[in-house]
Amino acid sequence: MERRDIIRSLTILPFAGGFRPIESILSPVTGPLEPGQNIYQSIGVEPVINCVGTYTIIGGSIERPEVVEAMHAASGFFVQYDELALGIGRRLAELTKAEWGMISSGCAAGMKHVTSACIAGGNPEKLVRIPDLTGFDKTEVVIPRSSRNAYDHSIRNIGVTIITVDTLEELGKALNARTAMIYVMTGRDTLPGNKFAIDKIAALAKPLNIPFLVDAAAEDLTIPNVHLQAGATVVAYSGGKAICGPQCAGLLLGQKDILMSAWQASSPHHGTGRDNKVGKEEMLGMLAAVEAWVKRDHEAKYRTWLGYLDVISKRVSAVSGVTVTLGEPADLNNRSPWLIISWDPARLNVAGPEIAEMLAQTQPRIAVHSGSNEQDKTTFLRVTSGQMQPGNDKIVADRIFELLSKKYPEPKEMTAPSGDISGRWTVDIQFYSSKSQHTFILEQDGNWIQGSHKGDFSFREMVGTIEGDQVKLSSSERMIADNVPFIFSGTLSGDTITGQIYMGEYINASFTANRNNYRGTRRQIRFPKGQPLAT
């Protein structure tokens, strides 16, 4: 599965707790902090079993023992950071066969530093002026539309102009004297032979001496590196994904002069990257992760993951009406097998997202993907095994079996609405530390609602339902590389709706909507028969 597909499916991760305040999910038991098996429970936070993959929001990956050991050892000494960076760069070059290497405070931070390097070229007078690029020669970054993503904020933060292109021909025409860098996120379009294959882009960039950054955050590390061999200037990886290094570290491999300028743009140096501090512990922990990666038996690891899924498959397939299908990755992105558990929701009277929510909100807490297949009208759970730990397989198998074996009541008919909410509504929203005023324009047809939602910056479509006095409305602020969901759940009382807003990764807000009963003055409209003789 591609990283961009994983990003899109973040909206179905069941960790927001529906419309419950996030504080209500915490246990009332708090502190003092107790290091050990129950370190999280000691402050009222319940860990989860990870069956979705390397998501930052649930901790990325589990660090290798070698990583933990290296970080602990590094913490007991002082060291000059530039000397450390040089030593690490040299060792990474030896390990990976790249020209040079660098550790950043995460993959996105690494992308930011590389962009700074391409903009400033190692010139500190330019570096300290970023993001004000007035007077700079290089101010543009070219990105294929299929590579635009939420992580390219790290590039935009430098103040560059993003040039988005749809074809390789457009990309070639977009390159000019102002182009500082080309950026792509690996995926279908960048595979060999496809329209934005790395070697095709490199063939356009190299003659013009334009640096080419490849974001391979969720990929397995290849040695020698396939992207550098294809012509990329720098390739960036996440430390806390496949490589199982520190979650707050990233790995950059490639051309030494660019990476030295990128290091100049990173903490401890002052300027645009000072806020992306990487510690000596993370630096040596990330190096240890690469050392361990080179020695690791990856085939044995993969067999273990398949074994976890086999345990779950055998247990869950015993439920009548349930089908299990094994899926395996075809490329380097998110290279872990998964199990699709599907069924007819009309037969079991429960849908995949409902089961996923139960798994997320009850102990043992388990994170899984879920969804529906419109073609065959089935619903499903998807269990990914790449971050499961020994013993998780039996716990997950038993819990999913238990929930799918339960008898669920047949869905009830929708309750008749207690009122008609057609019309224009003024919506006051209370975010954590600010307020906004939005507008709903709604049409109601029985229980069903459609209309428009005017936010702070745009109009977008809105859909929803009303059952009794319970109103649920949904819209989404979609932009290139970003998506902010707004799911409103409120209670209708007369001409007022009050309730909560679920905003996915942006947590929750509250709202009060008041019907606008404005009635304009009635007057006849005269349509002039000729043009005005004076203005």
- pLDDT grade for 19, boundaries at 50, 70 and 90: low
pLDDT (0 to 100) of residue 20: 59
For the segment 502-535, what is each residue's pLDDT rounded down to a tens digit? 999 999 999 999 999 877 778 899 999 999 998 8
Section 233-262 average pLDDT: 97
Whether residue 247 is predicted with pLDDT greater than 60 in this model: the reply is yes
- pLDDT grade for 25, boundaries at 50, 70 and 90: low
For the segment 306-351, what is each residue's pLDDT rounded down to a tens digit? 999 999 999 999 999 999 999 999 999 999 999 999 999 999 999 9
Whether residue 14 is predicted with pLDDT greater than 60 in this model: the reply is no
Whether residue 252 is predicted with pLDDT greater than 90 in this model: the reply is yes
Section 182-189 average pLDDT: 96
Tell the CATH topology of 65-295: Aspartate Aminotransferase; domain 2 (3.40.640)
Backbone angles phi, psi at 305, to 5 degrees: -60, -40
Q: Which of 26, 2, 29, 4 is nearest to 15 (CA)?
A: 26
Section 292-318 average pLDDT: 97
pLDDT (0 to 100) of residue 228: 98
pLDDT (0 to 100) of residue 535: 82
For residue 298, the tally of other CB atoms under 10 A from its CB is: 11
What top-level class would CATH report for the domain 423-515?
mainly beta
For the segment 456-490, what is each residue's pLDDT rounded down to a tens digit? 999 999 999 999 999 999 999 999 999 999 999 99
pLDDT (0 to 100) of residue 23: 65
423-430 and 338-343 beta bridge pairing: unpaired
CATH 3.40.640.10 domain residues, the chain = 65-295
What global pTM score does this model have? Answer: 0.91
Whether residue 361 is predicted with pLDDT greater than 60 in this model: the reply is yes
Q: Which residues are paired to 102 by β-bridges?
A: 252
Mean pLDDT of the chain: 94
What's the CA gap between 238 and 242, in Å, rounded?
Answer: 8
The pLDDT > 70 percentage for the chain reads: 95
Show Cβ contacts of residue 276 under 8 Å, excluding neighbours closer than 6 positions: 104, 105, 106, 109, 112, 113, 266, 267
Longest dimension (CA), the chain: 89
pLDDT (0 to 100) of residue 417: 98
Q: How far is CA 495 from CA 181, 423, 449, 489, in A?
A: 54, 10, 16, 16
CATH 2.40.128.120 domain residues, the chain = 423-515
pLDDT (0 to 100) of residue 8: 41
pLDDT (0 to 100) of residue 1: 53
Section 150-173 average pLDDT: 97
- pLDDT grade for 125, boundaries at 50, 70 and 90: very high
Q: Are 339 and 327 in contact (CB under 8 A)?
A: yes
Whether residue 206 is predicted with pLDDT greater than 90 in this model: the reply is yes
Section 65-93 average pLDDT: 98
Whether residue 75 is predicted with pLDDT greater than 70 in this model: the reply is yes
Q: Are 232 and 215 in contact (CB under 8 A)?
A: no
User: In sequence order, what E strands does 54-171 have?
Assistant: 100-104, 140-144, 161-165
For residue 75, the tally of other CB atoms under 10 A from its CB is: 12
Q: Which of 151, 28, 54, 26 is nearest to 367 (CA)?
A: 54
Q: Are 133 and 121 in contact (CB under 8 A)?
A: no
Section 356-362 average pLDDT: 95
For the segment 43-63, what is each residue's pLDDT rounded down to a tens digit? 999 999 999 999 999 999 999
Whether residue 16 is predicted with pLDDT greater than 70 in this model: the reply is no
- pLDDT grade for 24, boundaries at 50, 70 and 90: low
CATH of 3-47+301-405, one of 3.40.50.2300, 1.10.275.10, 2.40.50.100, 3.90.1150.10: 3.90.1150.10
Output the six-digit token pair for 431.
Answer: 């975010």
pLDDT (0 to 100) of residue 517: 83
Section 393-407 average pLDDT: 98
What's the CA gap between 241 and 237, in Å, rounded?
Answer: 8
Whether residue 178 is predicted with pLDDT greater than 80 in this model: the reply is yes
The pLDDT > 90 percentage for the chain reads: 90
Whether residue 89 is predicted with pLDDT greater than 60 in this model: the reply is yes
Whether residue 69 is predicted with pLDDT greater than 90 in this model: the reply is yes
Helix H, strand E, coil C: the string for 476-527 is EEEECCEEEEEEEEEEEECCEEEEEEECHHHCEEEEEEEECCCCCCCCCCCC
CATH 3.90.1150.10 domain residues, the chain = 3-47+301-405
DSSP 177-193: TTEEEEEEE-SGGGSTT
pLDDT (0 to 100) of residue 49: 97
pLDDT (0 to 100) of residue 13: 43
Section 405-431 average pLDDT: 96
For residue 116, the tally of other CB atoms under 10 A from its CB is: 29
